[in-house]
Amino acid sequence: MQRILIIYTGGTIGMIKNEKGFLQPFSFEHLINYIPLLKSFPASISSYSFDELIDSSNADPDFWIKLSKIIIKNYDNYDGFLILHGTDTMAFTASALSFMLQNLSKPIILTGSQLPIDLIRTDGRENILAALELACMNENGTPLIKEVCVYFENTLYRGNRTTKFSAENFDAFISPNFPSIAEVGIDIKLHKQNLLKTNSDKLIVENEFNNNIAILKFFPGIKAETVEAICNIKNLRGLIIETYGSGNAPTDDKILKEIEKVINKGLVVLNISQCTVGKVQQGKYETSVKLNDIGVVSGKDMTIEAATTKLMFVLGKNLPQSEMAKLLENSIAGEISE
């Protein structure tokens, strides 16, 4: 019998309306009352609930570190972990965990819901039960899934490849540049060829982040003064630029000089496309050649969630600029297509 620890952090799945009509989280014990099947589920299920349940809008590096420490503390006692989390920043948390906990030998699956668990039409019950089934999948007692994943609406995704694209539909997540890991219907179809492969089962734990970063999204008509203001944020250590198409940016010399200045100061600038599907290919068009020349790092096909958390993670290592650039350009936990 597989041993699964459910970690309840808060989020819509465990929300009820308070006397003012606002949704707020309630205890995990109440959650079990709404899913009585959990009591007879064919696995040994334990639970851990955060003392202070949060709306995922309040998730930050401190929260990720706290969550990782709970997993590490219980790592040897369980065969898998199910994290109940709000949907708004679920992809950020999944990405962060994938960098913090490398060479996993068991699954860490995040799920949640679009509707609170106490509503008749909630998607939360199915998401929890199906995610538990996936977490329990094994061969001769060895877990089949050994990475951080997101499960939502019949599909299991690699966590650092997901992005939330809908605030209204039950299928709220997509994995635009990497195929799904499993689909759940009458049968569970696990795509073993898409599972993350590691060279070792020795868990690597790294939980230092530096969130002195900013995101600069280009738009037609952006002024050099706007770029300058962002590039001169106090204590800035890293910058993500969201460019057009395959990594293209305005060729305005004033804008490019501001970006070049921060690179020359030792900061890391990471290029991510505004397009949901596709990848950054610096140098493919003339409008991205200069970015290559001044030392902007290509984010390739990373999601903005993976890029944001990875940049914080890499900056937390306090490495020379050139070494940080190499880490950002290469896959750490399957977040980039090689």
| Domain range list for the chain | 3-205, 213-329
Active site residues: 12
Angstrom CA distances, 40 to 22, 30, 45, 135, 157, stand at 33, 16, 10, 16, 27
Do 3-205 and 213-329 fold alike per CATH? yes
User: In this predicted structure, what is the pLDDT of residue 28?
Assistant: 63
Structure tokens at 14: 């465990």
What does the pLDDT read at residue 116? 83
At residue 231, φ and ψ (nearest 5 deg) are -65, -20
Contact yes or no for 118/25 (Cβ under 8 A): no
Q: Which fold has domain 3-205?
A: Rossmann fold (3.40.50)
What was the pLDDT predicted at 49? 87
Residue 55: the pLDDT is 86
- Domain 213-329, architecture per CATH: 3-Layer(aba) Sandwich (3.40)
pLDDT of residue 25: 63
- Dump pLDDT digits (tens) for 28-50: 677 677 788 888 899 999 989 88
**Conformational region of residue 23, where left means phi above 0, alpha means psi within -120 to 50, and beta covers everything else:** beta
What per-residue confidence (pLDDT) applies to 10? 85
User: 105: which residues sit within 8 A by CB, 6+ positions away?
Assistant: 143, 146, 201, 203
* Average pLDDT, 10 consecutive residues per value, the chain (338 residues): 93 76 67 79 90 90 98 98 96 98 97 87 92 96 96 97 95 97 97 91 94 98 97 97 96 96 97 96 89 96 98 98 97 94
- Is the distance from CB of 37 to CB of 68 less than 8 angstroms? no
Tokens standing for 102?
Answer: 């490398």
Strands 142-143 and 138-139: antiparallel
| Residue-level pLDDT at 227 | 98
Residue 234: which of 270, 267, 208, 207 has the closest Cα?
267
Yes or no: say if 326 and 298 are a contact pair by the CB < 8 Å rule.
Answer: no
**pLDDT score of 14:** 75
Could you tell me the pTM of the whole model? 0.95
Sheet with 297-298, strands from edge to edge, namely 213-217, 238-243, 268-273, 297-298
The count of other CB atoms within 10 Å of the CB of residue 221 is: 7
